[in-house]
Amino acid sequence: MSVDAVAARELALRAVAGADGGVKGDGGLVVVIGGSREYPGPPYAAALAARRAGAHGVRVAAPPAAAAQQVALEAHLFPGMGPELDAAAAQAVAGVSRRMVQRLAQTGARGRVVWLVGPGLGGSPLADTFLDALEEVRDHDRGAALVVDGSLGGGPRARERLWRLGADLVLLNRAEAHALLASPGPPALTVRGEAVDAAALAHAARETGAVLVAKGDPDLITDGARSRLVPAGHPGLARHGTGDVLAGVAAALLAQMPAPFDAAALACHLVGTAGEVLARETGPGWLTGDLLDTVAPVLRDLLTTGPR
């Protein structure tokens, strides 16, 4: 099944029904968890993307970075984070998240809490330690839904980790998808432009219990039993920053709607269409901030004018 503008509009109408409500929290709450000394910016870009996609509240658990100053008016920042996320950071996130879940329940808000794990985390030397701590947290508390951005190292261990974390949705670029599907042993060389095997991706979705998205031309989404293709997009989206935007949008939509499969499809359509708009109106030199600014009008146009 292919997701065109008509299907995307139907998904968008479902997603924003809660966000347009009168209770704070109807649009859901997103906790972005990531970043490293090597890659400080991605979690803050993802946080802004979540706001652009309608999340009513965003918190960021990430090492301090210059980008935090740009986000502070739109998101609450976890205090006391060190230069790399560690086990103490995982416990801090869990404690705040529990209070957020309780607050939504007390107010009757229709949104939910979603964790977005991964933007910028791959550059951290403590990534494995942090993810181990996060697994322990999730063993006892899965009150929040979970989006993972990246393959968490790839191979069987990463697939097991996704299952242990209880991931609802996993976003992968083509290289990350090949890494996640890899067998034990030395990593195989990926041929430029090599497509992701749809059957293998579906098998991995069943193994991990998560909806998997392999970004490409087109994007491929599967929950192991069914698959969708999202043709919207442009080659210019294959650059730094776009994955962070997609991750934030997907997390925000999952905070507003119950089905990870639908949230993934709508997120891919919104960001893909935004990329088409920028390629047409700006050319190849657009910035990540331009993509952030274009996602919201694309969503607005779906809701107000419908597909053309």
79, with CB counted inside 10 A (0-12, 13-18, 19+), is exposed
Q: Are 217 and 202 in contact (CB under 8 A)?
A: no
Please state whether the predicted TM-score (pTM) of the whole model is above 0.85.
yes
Look at the block and give the residue holding tokens 């430029």.
192
Distance CA 146, CA 169 (A): 7
Q: Which of 65, 48, 183 is nearest to 123 (CA)?
A: 65
- Rounded percentage of the chain residues whose pLDDT exceeds 70: 94
Quick one: pLDDT band at residue 194, thresholds 50, 70, 90? confident
Whether the per-residue pLDDT at 190 is higher than 70: the answer is no
Residues in Cβ contact with 174 at an 8 Å cutoff, skipping those fewer than 6 apart? 190, 194, 196, 214, 215, 216
Identify the pLDDT of residue 69.
85
> What are the pLDDT digits (tens) for 58-68?
999 999 998 88
Q: Are 240 and 42 in contact (CB under 8 A)?
A: no
